[in-house]
Amino acid sequence: MELGLEGKGVLVTGASGGIGSATARVLAANGARVGVHYHANAEAARAVAAEVGGVALQADLRDEASADALVPAAVEALGRLDACVANAGAWDPEDVPVAHMTLDRWRATLDANLTATFLTARGFLRHVETTGEGSLVLVASTAGLFGEAGHADYAAAKAGIAQGLLLSLKNEIVERAPLGRVNVVAPGWTVSPMTERSLSEETIAHVTATMPLRKVATAEDVARAIAFLCSPLAAGHVTGQVITVAGGMEGRLLR
């Protein structure tokens, strides 16, 4: 399928590893020039950028000034910016029920996920006002759709992305860019550096129990869905949608 990404500029946040780096590779394979954003892992981001012919860009997306500078930096480095993938986020592997969760952890998780996505989206919406078009893809999680016991902080942040933020932005973007689109990809359990330590055989059996496709996703599975939504040809009339990449998951087992 022709995606129409040849020569396009795409910014991918959190692109130094896992889903982000896989997305950078898929986009580059389809002809896009990619801005490989990172927060702390400069070495990995520069390696990905070198591999895909892109450019590494640093920003702390929890910090307003740093986040605000990212999109203009991507435009300057790439020469244009047609799509943005707000992928950066963090998941704390420690199970902590709300009754015992500290306010510091709650705030840190929301900042790393919901606030970072808000600031990335805001920067991109300001940019598309000058171009009239563009695709914004937000990366959420099945935790935001089904909840996740022990990780209510993460689930709440991702629900905010997949519901309130998405459904507001898909209407707001067209006020600034008539052909602007906003969509969400919600991965389920995916093999990545963030999750691999938690994916024991027992865990895999548990998390795939409600999936018709009894397997954990690869980063490439998610990346291809993201690339589809970035495409002005394949997904040019798709906006306000959540694509769940989770093997048909129907919910979560309690026991």
Enzyme catalytic residues? 154
Tokens (6 digits) for 87: 């992928």
Burial class (CB in 10 A: 0-12, 13-18, 19+), 70: buried
